[in-house]
Amino acid sequence: MRRLFLSTVTVIATACGSSGHPSSIDGHEFDRFPPVGPPAKAQLPAPPRTLQVERRYLVALFGDAQDVWQQEFRSARLRYDPAHVVVFAGVIKSRCGEHEEGAGPFYCPGDETVYLDTDFFIRFIHGSELDAAAQAYIVGHEVAHHVQRMAGIADRVGAAADAHPDEKNKLTTNTELQADCLAGVWARSAYPRSALTPTDLVKALEAADAIGDDFDARRRGEYFLDTSAWTHGSSRQRQLWLRTGFNSGRPTACNPFGYG
């Protein structure tokens, strides 16, 4: 079973904007953003301490990430239109199409909504890979795709992919890695206001490992991999960019487009 988020495929497919080469996505989109700080609503609810999914907790994480990013955009004197959230199980329809059962969490730019699939969370919790901090990472990652849209990055990526189809997978991968990093930036603010522990943060990194493009292949003992079809990045890359965002707390540090 592939352990991937579906959201950036949607972003690439529906984005529009000025044409250009992938090198025009230079990472300066966040130069005006300050380091993250706590939002007005300072305290997060206590995370579930059993192997379960709580809709209340997922929605609270989403709301906190929204507050942090709205504050960041306000500080940068940029417009931020809040995203919406839908928590669902089974089949769901969005403006990006109909999504099969088990589709997993995703962001649809067509209706600017983060869709959180409880079946996905439950399935991987039973695999002991998605505890509370890992759930937070995934929610932060999906909200980050809305941040990319509001910052104009999604449009630039879409235009670059249209102009250079051979670069599409690389662009998609870098978009996902940037979302991982931005999730870490938000987590930098959220962690001191939560009841999460350092052990919980390790679990979030384990989740980043489990959804890398190379995870299943490595479990089968395959180490000589064709990376040309990757769309989300290796486990190592995903962990690296999540840590980069968390350790820096600065959106401007989230620039995988400047590497490789």
If DSSP states are collapsed to H, E and C, what string results for the chain?
CCCCCCHHHHHHHHCCCCCCCHHHCCCHHHCCCCCCCCCCCCCCCCCCCCCCCCHHHHHHHHHHHHHHHHHHHHHCCCCCCCCEEEEECCCEEECCEEECCCCCCEEECCCCEEEEEHHHHHHHHCCCCCCHHHHHHHHHHHHHHHHHHHCCHHHHHHHHHHHCHHHHHHHHHHHHHHHHHHHHHHHHHHHHHCCCCHHHHHHHHHHHHHCCCCHHHHHCCCCCCCCCCCCCCCHHHHHHHHHHHHHHCCHHHCCHHHCC
Confidence (pLDDT) at 75: 93
For 26, what's the count of Cα atoms within 13 Å in the CB-facing half-sphere?
4
- CA distance linking residue 131 with residue 3, whole number of Å: 16
Confidence (pLDDT) at 10: 41
Confidence (pLDDT) at 254: 94
Total-model pTM: 0.84
Confidence (pLDDT) at 152: 93
Kindly give the parts of the chain with pLDDT less than 70: 1-24, 26-27, 38-42, 49-52, 124-130, 213-230, 259-260
Confidence (pLDDT) at 208: 79
- CA distance linking residue 236 with residue 227, whole number of Å: 13
